[in-house]
Amino acid sequence: MIVRLFLALVFAAVAFVPTAQGATSVSLVFTSYTTVTKTHDTPPRSKPNKGDRIDFKDLLVTTGNQLGKKPGKAVGYDAGSVLYTSPSTQTISGVTTFPGFGTLTFAGPMKTLKDGTVHVPIVKGTGAFKGATGELIIGEGQSKAPNTYVLSLPHSLCTGTCA
């Protein structure tokens, strides 16, 4: 009897738990053009090792109609650092800025998949991206690479000027 009452209370409580309302999944795809890199090469030099760091800045250009921009137009920029935690592993931290919309902060281990893409956690958003989480997927390329932001937002993404 007590077990049945307990189970009934648990089921009733679950029935009244509010669900996430208005959660939105958004994918934004850009081409990233490297504009600045500065390598901090610690001994032994000329090979990757723990403590090496690469600072970077990139220009993001739309591949389709996104964030109010036509294909091929600059839509934002990112800046950050890659830190080698060993000769074969890295962490990254940086901020992507979309003027008029807000920012996305990415940080964490750089996980390379079999297809050559690098996956990085998105940990924070501001402006139109407030509350964002997700993943930044960096495609292959040296001075030019596809960047895909796969986001989960607690609200819909506005399409006009938001910030």
Tens-place pLDDT, residues 64-100: 999 999 999 999 999 999 999 999 999 999 999 999 9
Tens-place pLDDT, residues 49-68: 999 999 999 999 999 999 99
- For residue 157, the model assigns a pLDDT of 82
- What residue spans define the domains of the chain? 23-153
Domain covering 23-153 in this structure, CATH number? 2.40.480.10
Q: Does pLDDT of 107 surpass 60? A: yes
- Tell me the pTM: 0.82
Q: Does pLDDT of 108 surpass 90? A: yes
Say if residues 77 and 60 touch (Cβ distance below 8 Å).
yes
